[in-house]
Structure 1
Amino acid sequence: MKSICFYFQIHQPFRLKRYRFFNIGNDHYYFDDYSNEDIMQQIAARSYIPANRMLLDLINQYKGKFKVAFSISGVALDQMEVYAPEVIEGLRELSKTGDVEFLTETYAHSLSSLFDPEEFHNQVKQHSERIEMLFDQKPTVLRNTELIYSDEIADMVYKMGYKKMITEGAKHVLGWKSPNYVYQSASQPQLKLLLKNSKFSDDIAYKFSDYSWNEYPLTAEKFMSWIASTPPEEKVFNLFMNYEVLGNLQPSHSGIFEFMKALPRFAFEKGIGFSTPSEIMDSHKPIGAIQVPETISWSDEERDVSAWLGNRLQKSALKSLYEIGERVRLCTVRQLKQDWIYLQSSDHFYYMSTKHFGIGNSNFSPYMSPYDAFNNYMNVLSDFIGRIKAQYPDTVDNEELNALLTTIHNQDMEIKRLEQELKKVIGTNEELLVEKLSRKKADKI
C-alpha cells in the first residue's frame, strides 16, 4: 500500500530592530517586538489557526486514517506563547488525537550543526524537552534546520541517540534512485532516512496557484492520480513543506484548504494511506544507503547551503558568532543565553544572501539589501560580544575556558551524585522512623 507522509515546518525568527553603530554599548535589547508580534498574529490568523482546525476535522472525520507531522522551532514556540497562544492550544488538540507526530530540531532553527557540534547537541536536547513538555510527546525523529544533512551530521545525530531522520531527496545525491523509499545513512547504517519528494511537495507548496503552470488548476483527484500511477514498488511519498503554505503562501482564496480537505477521500479511493515519519520508518526496511559527503538542504535548485554560506558577509558573520560559543556556555546570565539562541536563527544569514537579492525570495527579508542586513546584524553582534567578554574577557584563553567547563561539568556531576545519596539517606531515615513508630504502637498494645 502506498503511503503519504505529510510533514509541516513551523518557524518564525525573532527579527532584529534597526540597530545602529551608536547603539553599541548603550542598548542591549535587539529585537523588533512590533514586527514580530504583527507578523506572528497575521500568519496565525491566515494560516496556523484555520489549518489546525482543518487538520483536526480531517483526523476526526477519518478516525485515525489521516495523519501528519510537525517540526516547530523553539523560537517560533517562544513567540506563539506570547503573541498567539491559541496556535499552541490548537497543536495540543492535534497531539491528543494520537495521529500527529512532533519532530525535534535545533531550538534556534540554527546552523550549529555546521559550526559547533556541542551547541547542536544542546539545542536538539533543549528542543526535545520543550516539545515533550508542551505536547506530551518525546520526539524520536530528528529534522535538522532547513533539512541540512551530510554524513558528518549523520554521525552526530546517531551519537545523540537518534535512529530516524528526515532530509532532502537531492537529485545530485540520489542520481537515478527514487526518493519514494526508506534509506539508511552510509556513515551510520542504523540511522534510517526519509527523503523529501521535491516534485510532489513543490507542486503544492509553490505551483498550486500559479496560473502559468501547465497543470493548473491542481485538483485533489489529479494529484492522487499522479501518486497512484507511480511504479507499484514505490510505497513512500514524503511531502515536506512550510505550514504557511496553508493559507499564507497559498492564500485561502486559491482553494488550498478545499484541496487539502479533498485529498484524503481521493487517496483512500485509490488505496493510498497516510502515515507519520515514525510509522513509515518502523514499518519499512531501508533499500540502500545514501552517501552525502557534501552538505545538502532543501533550499534552491542547488539543494546546498549556499543560501546561508554563499558569500563573505555570511561566512564572516557566522564565524564571529560561533567563535564565542564556549564563552556563552560558561555564562549563567539568562538574558545573554536567550539572546544567544535568538541570534543564531538561520534567517539572519539568509537575509545576507546575494543569491536572492532582487528576486522573489528577497521579499521575505525586512532589509533593503543584503549589505543592510549584514551591517545591522554585525552591530547587534558587536554589542552582544562585548557583553559576553565583560563576563569572560579575551585574557581567558581557550585552554582556560575548557578547564573551566570541565570543572563546572565535574561539579554538576558531583552535585547530582550527592543529591542521589541524600535521597537514599532521607528514604532510609523515613523507613527507620516508620518502623520505630510501628514498634512503639505494638508495645502499647
Structure 2
Amino acid sequence: MKSVCFYFKIHQPFRLKRYRFFDIGNDHYYYDDFANDEIITRLAESSYIPMAETLLQMINDSNRSFKCSLSISGTAIEQFQLYVPEFIDLLKKLADTGCVEFLSGTYSHSLASLEDPEEFMREVKEHDNLIQRLFGVKPSVFANTELIYDDDIACLIGAMGFKTTLTEGAKHILGWKSPDYIYSAATAPDVKLLLTNDKLAEDISRNFNNTAWDEYPLTADKYVDWIASLPNEEQVVNLYLSMDTFGSFLPRETGIFDFMKALPRFGKEKGVMFTTPSDVVAKLKPVGEISVPFPISDIDEARDVSAWKGNELQNEALGKLYAVAERVNLCQDRRLKQDWEYLQSSDHFYYMSTKNMADGASHAAFSPYDSPFAAFTNYMNVLADFLVRVEEQYPESIDNEELNSLLLTIRNQSQEINQLNKEVATLRNNILNSDDSNNAPKEELLEIAEKDDVEAPAEETKKRGRKPAKEEKAAPAKRGRKKK
C-alpha cells in the first residue's frame, strides 16, 4: 500500500506593538496584545478548531486507520492557552486517539539552528518538554522552523537523539531523484530524511480553489487516484501544510473540509494509507544518502534561507540578538528569558525581507508593517531596550572568555550532580531489593540514602577539589515561564 503522511503546521508569533525610539529604557513591554488576541481567536474560529474537529471525525469514521502529524510551536501554544484554551482541549483529544503524532521543533519557531547551535538545542528541549507536559507524548521526529536543514544541522539533530527529520524536497538538491523515498543524512547516517512532495501539497494549498487551474475542481477521489498511480516502488508521500490553509486561505465554503473528510474512504478503496512518520520509518529503509551543503527551507521559489537572511537589515538584527545568547541563558530573570524567546521568532526577520517580484509580494502580504525598513526600525528599537536589560544583568565588561569559563564550570558541576544522584538512586533500589544488610532495618538505610541524596554532591566535589554544588551561586535556577 502507498503511505501518505500529512503534516499540519501551527505557528503564531507574539507580534510587537509600535515601539518608538523614545520608549527605549521607559517601556519594557513589547507586545501588541490586541492584535495577538484578535488574530489567534479569528484563526481558531475559522481554521484551527474546525480543522481539528475534522481530523477527529476522520480518525473516528475510519476506525482510527487515518493518522497524521502536527507541528506546533511553543509560542502558538502559549497564545492558545491565553486566548483560546478550548483549542488546547481539542489537541489533547487528538493526542488521546493515538493517531496523531506531535513533532519536535524550536520553541519560538526561531532561526537558532542557523545562528547558535547551543541555543538551538536548548529551544528544542524546551519545546519537547512543553509537548510532553501538555499532551503526554515525547516527540521523536524533528521538523525545524520552516523545514530549514543542511548537513551541519543534521549533525545537531543526530546529537539530540533524533533518528528522523522532515525537510524540503528541494529540486536543486534532489535533481533527478524523487522525494517519495526515505533517505539518510550524509553527515549523520543514522538520521533518516523524510522529504516533502511540494507538487501534491500545493495542489491542495494553491490550486484547490483556483478556477483557472486545468485540473479544477479537485475532488478527493481524483487526488487519491494521483497518489495511487505513483510508481509502485516509491515509498511515502509527505504532505506538509499550514493548518490555517484549511478554513482561512481556503474558506469552508470552498468545500475543503468535505474534501478532507472523504480522503480516508477513497484511500481505503485505492490502497492508500494515511499514517505517521514514525510508523513509516519503522517499516521502510533509506534508499540512499542526501547531502545538503547549504541551508534549504520550504519558503519562496529558491527554497533557501534568504527570506530571513537575505539583506543587511536582517543580518544586523540577527547578529545583535544572538550576540547576547549566553548572557541571557545565564541570567535568572524570568521576564527577560520570556522576551528572549519571543524576540527569536523567525517572523520578525521575515517582515524585513526586501525580496522582489512574486516572493516580495508574498512577504508584504503577511507583514503588519508598511515596509521592510519599518519592520527593521521597530524591531531594533525593541531590541535596544532588551539589550539594555541584558547589560544590567551581565555587563559587557565581562568578556566572552570569562563568560565561557563560567558556563563550562556550571555545566560540569551540573553533570556531576546528576551522576551522583543517579548513583544514590541505584543504591536506594539495591537496598529495597536486598535482604537485611548488616542487620540494619531497611528504613534506617533508606534514611541514610535520602541524606546522601542531598549531601553526596557537596562531599564528592570537595574530594575532587571543586566548590560544593550546594554553595554554587552562579548556577541558573530551573526555568519557568511567566504568563502575562
TM-score (norm 1): 0.94
In the TM superposition, residue 409 of structure 1 has moved relative to its aligned partner by 2.2
In the TM superposition, residue 210 of structure 1 has moved relative to its aligned partner by 1.6
Q: Which residue of 2 aligns with 1:410?
A: 412
Unaligned stretches of 5+ in structure 1?
Answer: 437-445
Task: Say if 1:419 and 1:345 are closer, same or farther in 2 by CA, change over 3 A.
Answer: same
The CA distance in 2 between the partners of 1:430 and 1:210, in whole Å, is 78
In the TM superposition, residue 57 of structure 1 has moved relative to its aligned partner by 0.9
* CA-to-aligned-CA distance 1:406-435 (integer Å, 9 cap, x gap): 222234345545656777899979824499
Aligned identity (percent) is 56
What letter corresponds to residue 396 of structure 1 in structure 2?
I
SS in structure 2 of the partner of residue 127 of structure 1: helix
Within-5 A mapping of 1:290-439: 290-355=290-355, 359-416=361-418, 431-433=442-444
Q: Which residue of 1 aligns with 2:181?
A: 181
Q: Which residue of 2 aligns with 1:441?
A: none
SS in structure 1 of the partner of residue 120 of structure 2: helix
The CA distance in 2 between the partners of 1:434 and 1:300, in whole Å, is 64
Task: Say if 1:392 and 1:177 are closer, same or farther in 2 by CA, change over 3 A.
Answer: same
SS in structure 2 of the partner of residue 247 of structure 1: coil
The answer as to whether partners of 2:164 and 2:191 remain within 8 angstroms in 1 is yes
Task: Say if 1:401 and 1:435 are closer, same or farther in 2 by CA, change over 3 A.
Answer: closer
The CA distance in 1 between the partners of 2:381 and 2:403, in whole Å, is 26
* CA-to-aligned-CA distance 1:88-111 (integer Å, 9 cap, x gap): 110110111111100000101000
The CA distance in 2 between the partners of 1:415 and 1:231, in whole Å, is 55
The CA distance in 1 between the partners of 2:371 and 2:285, in whole Å, is 47
SS in structure 1 of the partner of residue 28 of structure 2: coil
Task: Say if 1:46 and 1:390 are closer, same or farther in 2 by CA, change over 3 A.
Answer: same
Higher RCO, Cα 8 Å, sep 6+: 1
* Runs of 4+ that moved beyond 6 A: 421-430
The CA distance in 1 between the partners of 2:441 and 2:54, in whole Å, is 54
Within-5 A mapping of 1:21-170: 21-170=21-170
Say how many residue pairs are matched: 436
The CA distance in 2 between the partners of 1:221 and 1:57, in whole Å, is 19
Task: Say if 1:162 and 1:57 are closer, same or farther in 2 by CA, change over 3 A.
Answer: same
In the TM superposition, residue 186 of structure 1 has moved relative to its aligned partner by 0.9
The CA distance in 2 between the partners of 1:287 and 1:413, in whole Å, is 39
Within-5 A mapping of 1:234-245: 234-245=234-245
What letter corresponds to residue 150 of structure 1 in structure 2?
D
In the TM superposition, residue 226 of structure 1 has moved relative to its aligned partner by 1.2
SS in structure 2 of the partner of residue 88 of structure 1: helix
> Superposition RMSD on alpha carbons, in Å?
1.9
The CA distance in 2 between the partners of 1:360 and 1:344, in whole Å, is 21
Task: Say if 1:170 and 1:426 are closer, same or farther in 2 by CA, change over 3 A.
Answer: closer
The CA distance in 1 between the partners of 2:419 and 2:224, in whole Å, is 57
Mean Cα displacement is larger for which, 400-409 or 40-49? 400-409
In the TM superposition, residue 166 of structure 1 has moved relative to its aligned partner by 0.4
The CA distance in 2 between the partners of 1:435 and 1:404, in whole Å, is 36
Q: Which residue of 1 aligns with 2:455?
A: none
* CA-to-aligned-CA distance 1:260-317 (integer Å, 9 cap, x gap): 0111111111111111011111111001111100110001111100111111111111
The CA distance in 2 between the partners of 1:292 and 1:282, in whole Å, is 24
What letter corresponds to residue 87 of structure 1 in structure 2?
F
The CA distance in 2 between the partners of 1:313 and 1:81, in whole Å, is 33
Task: Say if 1:425 and 1:288 are closer, same or farther in 2 by CA, change over 3 A.
Answer: closer
SS in structure 1 of the partner of residue 353 of structure 2: coil
The CA distance in 1 between the partners of 2:3 and 2:13, in whole Å, is 33
TM-score (norm 2): 0.87
Within-5 A mapping of 1:174-253: 174-253=174-253
The CA distance in 2 between the partners of 1:435 and 1:347, in whole Å, is 53
What letter corresponds to residue 431 of structure 1 in structure 2?
K
What letter corresponds to residue 229 of structure 1 in structure 2?
S
What letter corresponds to residue 368 of structure 1 in structure 2?
D
Unaligned stretches of 5+ in structure 2?
Answer: 432-439, 448-484
SS in structure 1 of the partner of residue 9 of structure 2: strand
